[in-house]
Amino acid sequence: MSDWKWDYSPSEEHLTAGLPVGVVTEVERIATELAALGHDAETAGTRPEGKPGGLRNFPVFGGRGFIQCLAVPRHECVYVCAIVWTG
């Protein structure tokens, strides 16, 4: 288990406005699991270049949307930076 945390960037209000409650719950579940990975969160998910670090993509609800997260080791934090929901 890791001491890492997660947070929204820029803000929860900005990223979750208008989203269904179930989508927000799923985003928070994924973010919690990423924070539990600690440093390994830098390589989780996908990234177009296939390199560690940078924004990582994670599908939600079987591809009906995705989130982008950034793991920042010096902050020991995973930031949810974007949520795309096509519903």
Mean pLDDT of 48-67: 85
Range(s) of the domain holding residue 16: 5-85
- Beta carbons of 47 and 54 less than 8 angstroms apart: yes
| Helix or strand holding residue 66 (H, E) | strand 65-72
To the question of pTM greater than 0.85 for the whole model, the response is yes
Here the tokens at position 2 are: 């890791």
- In tens, the pLDDT along 23-56 reads 999 999 999 999 999 999 998 988 766 667 789 9
Q: How many domains does the chain have?
A: 1
DSSP 32: H
Residues 6+ apart with CB under 8 A from 25: none
Q: Tell me the CATH number at 40.
A: 3.30.2310
CB-hemisphere CA count at 13 Å for 77? 9
